Protein backbone atom coordinates (compact mmCIF):
# COMPACT_ATOMS: atom_id res chain seq x y z
CA UNK A 1 0.00 0.00 0.00
CA UNK A 2 1.32 3.44 -0.92
CA UNK A 3 2.25 5.88 1.84
CA UNK A 4 -0.18 8.78 1.59
CA UNK A 5 -0.77 9.91 5.19
CA UNK A 6 2.23 10.71 7.40
CA UNK A 7 2.27 11.81 11.01
CA UNK A 8 5.47 13.33 12.43
CA UNK A 9 5.91 13.94 16.16
CA UNK A 10 7.95 16.76 17.71
CA UNK A 11 7.92 18.73 20.96
CA UNK A 12 8.10 22.45 21.70
CA UNK A 13 11.90 22.51 21.77
CA UNK A 14 14.15 24.00 19.11
CA UNK A 15 16.53 21.06 18.54
CA UNK A 16 14.55 19.47 15.73
CA UNK A 17 15.01 21.72 12.71
CA UNK A 18 16.82 18.98 10.78
CA UNK A 19 14.12 16.43 11.61
CA UNK A 20 11.40 18.85 10.47
CA UNK A 21 13.24 19.27 7.18
CA UNK A 22 13.62 15.49 6.89
CA UNK A 23 9.90 14.93 7.56
CA UNK A 24 8.92 17.50 4.93
CA UNK A 25 11.27 15.87 2.40
CA UNK A 26 9.90 12.42 3.25
CA UNK A 27 6.32 13.56 2.66
CA UNK A 28 7.27 15.29 -0.60
CA UNK A 29 9.05 12.17 -1.86
CA UNK A 30 5.95 10.05 -1.22
CA UNK A 31 3.53 12.75 -2.47
CA UNK A 32 1.83 12.33 0.91
CA UNK A 33 -0.05 14.54 3.31
CA UNK A 34 1.97 15.49 6.39
CA UNK A 35 0.54 16.19 9.83
CA UNK A 36 2.76 17.39 12.65
CA UNK A 37 1.88 16.71 16.26
CA UNK A 38 3.59 19.00 18.75
CA UNK A 39 3.84 17.57 22.26
CA UNK A 40 3.60 20.28 24.92
CA UNK A 41 3.76 18.48 28.26
CA UNK A 42 2.47 20.27 31.34
CA UNK A 43 4.33 19.55 34.59
CA UNK A 44 3.06 16.67 36.69
CA UNK A 45 4.22 14.81 39.78
CA UNK A 46 5.14 11.78 37.66
CA UNK A 47 7.40 13.87 35.44
CA UNK A 48 8.97 16.15 38.02
CA UNK A 49 12.42 14.97 36.94
CA UNK A 50 11.65 15.40 33.25
CA UNK A 51 11.04 19.14 33.46
CA UNK A 52 13.87 20.61 35.46
CA UNK A 53 12.40 23.89 36.70
CA UNK A 54 8.89 25.23 37.45
CA UNK A 55 7.29 26.31 34.18
CA UNK A 56 4.00 28.16 34.11
CA UNK A 57 1.20 27.76 31.58
CA UNK A 58 2.10 31.09 29.95
CA UNK A 59 5.55 29.73 29.14
CA UNK A 60 3.95 26.77 27.41
CA UNK A 61 1.63 29.01 25.42
CA UNK A 62 4.57 31.07 24.22
CA UNK A 63 6.55 27.92 23.37
CA UNK A 64 3.65 26.56 21.32
CA UNK A 65 3.26 29.82 19.41
CA UNK A 66 6.99 29.94 18.71
CA UNK A 67 6.89 26.35 17.46
CA UNK A 68 4.00 27.11 15.11
CA UNK A 69 5.96 30.00 13.63
CA UNK A 70 9.08 27.86 13.13
CA UNK A 71 7.07 25.12 11.42
CA UNK A 72 5.29 27.61 9.15
CA UNK A 73 8.64 29.12 8.14
CA UNK A 74 10.18 25.74 7.33
CA UNK A 75 7.08 24.39 5.56
CA UNK A 76 6.78 27.43 3.31
CA UNK A 77 4.08 26.72 0.75
CA UNK A 78 3.81 23.03 1.70
CA UNK A 79 0.40 22.00 2.97
CA UNK A 80 1.17 20.81 6.51
CA UNK A 81 -1.41 20.30 9.23
CA UNK A 82 -0.21 21.14 12.75
CA UNK A 83 -1.85 19.70 15.86
CA UNK A 84 -0.92 20.72 19.37
CA UNK A 85 -1.32 18.53 22.43
CA UNK A 86 -0.83 20.66 25.54
CA UNK A 87 -1.70 18.44 28.48
CA UNK A 88 -0.47 16.10 31.18
CA UNK A 89 1.91 13.42 29.86
CA UNK A 90 -0.57 10.55 30.26
CA UNK A 91 -3.13 12.41 28.14
CA UNK A 92 -0.48 13.22 25.54
CA UNK A 93 0.37 9.54 25.13
CA UNK A 94 -3.29 8.60 24.60
CA UNK A 95 -4.05 11.40 22.15
CA UNK A 96 -0.92 10.79 20.09
CA UNK A 97 -1.87 7.11 19.68
CA UNK A 98 -5.36 8.12 18.52
CA UNK A 99 -3.95 10.52 15.92
CA UNK A 100 -1.55 7.81 14.74
CA UNK A 101 -4.43 5.49 13.77
CA UNK A 102 -5.20 7.75 10.84
CA UNK A 103 -1.69 7.73 9.39
CA UNK A 104 0.18 5.15 7.32
CA UNK A 105 3.39 5.68 9.27
CA UNK A 106 4.51 7.81 12.24
CA UNK A 107 7.87 9.59 12.03
CA UNK A 108 10.18 10.45 14.92
CA UNK A 109 13.63 11.97 14.94
CA UNK A 110 16.53 10.80 17.12
CA UNK A 111 16.15 11.26 20.88
CA UNK A 112 18.59 14.19 21.00
CA UNK A 113 16.24 16.18 18.74
CA UNK A 114 13.77 16.49 21.62
CA UNK A 115 13.86 18.62 24.76
CA UNK A 116 12.10 15.85 26.72
CA UNK A 117 13.40 12.45 25.53
CA UNK A 118 11.48 10.39 28.16
CA UNK A 119 8.19 11.80 26.87
CA UNK A 120 9.26 11.05 23.31
CA UNK A 121 10.05 7.44 24.27
CA UNK A 122 6.74 6.86 26.02
CA UNK A 123 4.85 8.47 23.16
CA UNK A 124 6.51 6.01 20.77
CA UNK A 125 5.55 3.13 23.07
CA UNK A 126 1.95 4.32 23.30
CA UNK A 127 1.69 4.60 19.52
CA UNK A 128 3.17 1.14 19.00
CA UNK A 129 0.87 -0.53 21.52
CA UNK A 130 -2.35 1.40 20.91
CA UNK A 131 -2.46 2.55 17.29
CA UNK A 132 -1.65 -0.49 15.15
CA UNK A 133 0.63 1.71 13.04
CA UNK A 134 4.39 1.42 12.47
CA UNK A 135 6.89 3.97 13.79
CA UNK A 136 9.81 5.06 11.61
CA UNK A 137 12.76 6.69 13.41
CA UNK A 138 14.84 8.69 10.94
CA UNK A 139 18.51 9.58 11.41
CA UNK A 140 19.29 13.25 10.97
CA UNK A 141 19.80 14.25 7.35
CA UNK A 142 17.93 11.25 5.93
CA UNK A 143 17.48 11.47 2.15
CA UNK A 144 14.30 9.65 1.09
CA UNK A 145 14.58 7.33 -1.88
CA UNK A 146 13.08 4.15 -3.28
CA UNK A 147 13.96 1.28 -0.93
CA UNK A 148 15.58 -1.33 -3.13
CA UNK A 149 17.47 -3.05 -0.31
CA UNK A 150 16.20 -3.43 3.24
CA UNK A 151 16.72 -5.68 6.21
CA UNK A 152 14.42 -7.23 8.78
CA UNK A 153 15.39 -8.49 12.20
CA UNK A 154 13.67 -11.89 12.15
CA UNK A 155 13.04 -13.97 15.27
CA UNK A 156 9.92 -15.81 14.05
CA UNK A 157 7.55 -14.00 16.42
CA UNK A 158 4.22 -12.28 15.86
CA UNK A 159 5.97 -8.93 16.25
CA UNK A 160 8.57 -9.69 13.59
CA UNK A 161 5.77 -10.80 11.25
CA UNK A 162 4.15 -7.37 11.68
CA UNK A 163 7.56 -5.79 11.06
CA UNK A 164 7.89 -7.72 7.82
CA UNK A 165 4.47 -6.61 6.62
CA UNK A 166 5.32 -2.98 7.38
CA UNK A 167 8.69 -3.28 5.63
CA UNK A 168 7.12 -4.64 2.45
CA UNK A 169 5.01 -1.48 2.14
CA UNK A 170 8.29 0.48 1.86
CA UNK A 171 10.04 -1.93 -0.50
CA UNK A 172 10.36 -1.28 -4.22
CA UNK A 173 9.13 -4.14 -6.46
CA UNK A 174 11.73 -6.89 -6.55
CA UNK A 175 13.73 -5.32 -3.71
CA UNK A 176 16.48 -7.19 -1.89
CA UNK A 177 15.42 -8.16 1.63
CA UNK A 178 18.00 -9.43 4.10
CA UNK A 179 16.50 -11.65 6.79
CA UNK A 180 18.83 -11.10 9.74
CA UNK A 181 18.66 -13.86 12.34
CA UNK A 182 20.55 -12.97 15.50
CA UNK A 183 22.03 -15.78 17.58
CA UNK A 184 19.30 -18.00 16.14
CA UNK A 185 18.82 -21.64 17.06
CA UNK A 186 16.52 -24.23 15.47
CA UNK A 187 13.20 -24.45 17.29
CA UNK A 188 9.93 -26.27 16.71
CA UNK A 189 8.01 -23.26 18.11
CA UNK A 190 9.76 -20.57 16.10
CA UNK A 191 12.51 -20.73 13.50
CA UNK A 192 12.04 -24.35 12.54
CA UNK A 193 15.02 -26.51 11.61
CA UNK A 194 16.73 -23.80 9.52
CA UNK A 195 16.39 -20.29 11.05
CA UNK A 196 15.20 -17.74 8.50
CA UNK A 197 14.79 -20.19 5.62
CA UNK A 198 10.98 -20.40 5.70
CA UNK A 199 10.40 -16.63 5.70
CA UNK A 200 13.03 -16.18 2.97
CA UNK A 201 11.13 -18.64 0.77
CA UNK A 202 7.91 -16.78 1.50
CA UNK A 203 9.48 -13.50 0.40
CA UNK A 204 10.90 -15.08 -2.74
CA UNK A 205 7.40 -16.20 -3.74
CA UNK A 206 6.36 -12.55 -3.57
CA UNK A 207 9.11 -11.55 -5.98
CA UNK A 208 11.71 -10.29 -3.49
CA UNK A 209 15.37 -11.27 -3.57
CA UNK A 210 15.75 -12.61 -0.06
CA UNK A 211 18.89 -13.67 1.77
CA UNK A 212 19.22 -15.17 5.23
CA UNK A 213 21.96 -13.37 7.16
CA UNK A 214 23.14 -15.05 10.40
CA UNK A 215 24.44 -12.49 12.92
CA UNK A 216 25.84 -12.52 16.41
CA UNK A 217 25.73 -9.80 19.04
CA UNK A 218 29.22 -10.57 20.41
CA UNK A 219 30.21 -7.67 22.69
CA UNK A 220 27.44 -5.47 21.24
CA UNK A 221 23.86 -5.34 22.47
CA UNK A 222 21.34 -7.30 20.41
CA UNK A 223 19.97 -4.09 18.92
CA UNK A 224 23.38 -2.77 17.90
CA UNK A 225 24.25 -6.19 16.50
CA UNK A 226 21.24 -6.02 14.18
CA UNK A 227 22.08 -2.46 13.11
CA UNK A 228 25.69 -3.45 12.43
CA UNK A 229 24.62 -6.41 10.27
CA UNK A 230 22.11 -4.30 8.30
CA UNK A 231 24.63 -1.54 7.63
CA UNK A 232 27.37 -3.96 6.61
CA UNK A 233 24.98 -5.44 4.05
CA UNK A 234 24.15 -1.96 2.69
CA UNK A 235 20.46 -1.99 3.65
CA UNK A 236 18.65 1.35 3.45
CA UNK A 237 16.22 0.49 6.25
CA UNK A 238 15.99 -1.97 9.16
CA UNK A 239 12.56 -3.22 10.19
CA UNK A 240 12.06 -4.67 13.67
CA UNK A 241 9.30 -6.13 15.77
CA UNK A 242 8.84 -3.97 18.87
CA UNK A 243 8.49 -5.31 22.40
CA UNK A 244 8.44 -9.03 21.82
CA UNK A 245 8.88 -9.13 25.61
CA UNK A 246 6.90 -7.01 28.06
CA UNK A 247 7.94 -3.40 28.60
CA UNK A 248 8.66 -4.19 32.26
CA UNK A 249 11.03 -7.01 31.32
CA UNK A 250 12.81 -4.84 28.77
CA UNK A 251 13.06 -1.99 31.28
CA UNK A 252 14.77 -4.30 33.78
CA UNK A 253 16.75 -6.63 31.54
CA UNK A 254 17.07 -4.60 28.37
CA UNK A 255 16.04 -5.61 24.87
CA UNK A 256 16.27 -4.67 21.21
CA UNK A 257 13.47 -2.11 21.39
CA UNK A 258 14.87 -0.30 24.42
CA UNK A 259 18.34 -0.39 22.86
CA UNK A 260 17.25 1.30 19.65
CA UNK A 261 14.35 3.65 20.41
CA UNK A 262 16.85 6.50 20.67
CA UNK A 263 17.68 6.12 16.99
CA UNK A 264 20.50 4.75 14.84
CA UNK A 265 22.57 5.69 11.76
CA UNK A 266 20.00 3.79 9.62
CA UNK A 267 16.21 4.36 9.50
CA UNK A 268 14.48 2.03 11.96
CA UNK A 269 10.94 0.82 11.30
CA UNK A 270 9.20 -0.56 14.41
CA UNK A 271 5.96 -2.53 14.49
CA UNK A 272 4.10 -4.27 17.28
pLDDT band at 78 (very low <50, low <70, confident <90, very high): confident
For 231, residues 6+ apart whose C-beta sits below 8 A from its C-beta are 265, 266
For 119, residues 6+ apart whose C-beta sits below 8 A from its C-beta are 11, 39, 41, 47, 50, 89, 92
**What is the tens place of the pLDDT at every residue in 131-164?**
999 999 999 999 999 999 999 999 888 888 999 9
The Cα 27–Cα 241 span in angstroms is 24
The Cα 173–Cα 206 span in angstroms is 9
State whether residue 4 is helix, strand or coil. coil
CA 190 to chain centre: 25
For 253, residues 6+ apart whose C-beta sits below 8 A from its C-beta are 245
**What is the tens place of the pLDDT at every residue in 204-232?**
999 999 999 988 876 668 888 899 999 99
Residue among 240, 216, 222, 215 at smallest CA distance from 150: 240
The Cα 176–Cα 207 span in angstroms is 9
Contact assessment for residue 10 and residue 36, using Cβ atoms and an 8 Å cutoff:
yes
The Cα 80–Cα 63 span in angstroms is 19
State whether residue 134 is helix, strand or coil. coil
pLDDT band at 253 (very low <50, low <70, confident <90, very high): very low
Residue 53 has pLDDT above 80, yes or no: no
192 DSSP 8-state letter? B
Mind listing the domains of the chain with CATH numbers? 5-137 (3.40.50.620), 147-271 (3.40.50.620)
Give pTM, 2 decimals: 0.88
Amino acid sequence: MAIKDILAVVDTGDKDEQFLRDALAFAEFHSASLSLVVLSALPSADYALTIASPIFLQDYTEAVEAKQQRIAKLAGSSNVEVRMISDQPAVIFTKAAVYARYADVVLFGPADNYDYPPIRRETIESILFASGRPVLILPNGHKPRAIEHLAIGWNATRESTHALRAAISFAAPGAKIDVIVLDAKPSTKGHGSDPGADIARHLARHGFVSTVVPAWADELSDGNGLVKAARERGAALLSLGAYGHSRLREMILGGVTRDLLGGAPIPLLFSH
